[in-house]
Amino acid sequence: MLTSLVVTASLLLAGAPAQSTATKSFTYRGMTLQIPKTWKVGKADAWGVHIKTGGCDRTAAECRGFYVLGPKGVATAREGNPYDTEQRFHPGTGVSLCTPDKRYYEGYPGKLVTSGLRQVGPGHKAYYRVWLIRCMTMKYKPTDTYFQERVWYLPKSKILVFDAWGTNRLGAILKAAAWR
């Protein structure tokens, strides 16, 4: 009893994280992810699912989180055309509001800063891309606001994971995915 009290006290004093490690399962098209219980899974539609990982800032274009898309989302992931690993994710045909600050537009096409393959559970590799996006004023002048767009694309499973918020632990969660 005293030993566990000392260990607990030393962890608290050392600054051990107070966040919960409790998880829940999220399954989509045969892929199961263990995500924090605090994340909110949106209602699945023909396009995919939005998983909210945090709050909804008034200045942001959308709530913090990421999307898991299926075949319909993949088919329209590049200006209404199928996703192409050599171009960034941009499902609309017009300009988009800048994710972290809706006062601005997303600069297009962005700069590819990382590309390669990433493990998404045993036996599944995804094309992984990170694009650096600069936000532009409504008159298309560059701003000092940037964000990164991360994409994991599994062509055989027809799944695309899109993250514009740099979601903490998402890479590790995808790496630990289970498949049925």
Which tokens is 75 given? 């088919």
Decide if 14 is inside a domain: no
SS3 171: helix
Q: What is the pLDDT confidence band of residue 6, given thresholds at 50, 70 and 90? A: very low
Query: Each residue of 47-57: pLDDT tens digit?
Result: 999 999 998 99
Residue 122 contacts residue 179 (beta carbons within 8 Å): yes
The verdict on residue 9 lying in a domain is no
CATH of the domain at 38: 3.40.1000
For residue 1, tell me if it sits in a domain.
Answer: no
Q: Is residue 6 part of a domain?
A: no
Please report whether residue 48 resides in a domain: yes
**How far is the CA of 118 from the CAs of 27, 72, 164, in angstroms?**
19, 23, 18
pTM recorded for the entire structure:
0.86
Give the residue numbers spanning the domain of 91.
22-179
**pLDDT (tens digit per residue) in 142-180:** 999 999 999 999 999 999 999 999 999 999 999 999 999
Looking at the domain assignment, is residue 114 inside a domain? yes
Q: What is the pLDDT of residue 7?
A: 33
Is the N-terminal amide bond of 91 cis, ω within 30° of 0?
no
Residue of 96, 48, 41 whose CA lies nearest to 74: 48
17 within some domain: no
* Tally of domains within the chain: 1
pLDDT for the residue numbered 173: 98
Whether residue 69 is contained in a domain is answered as yes
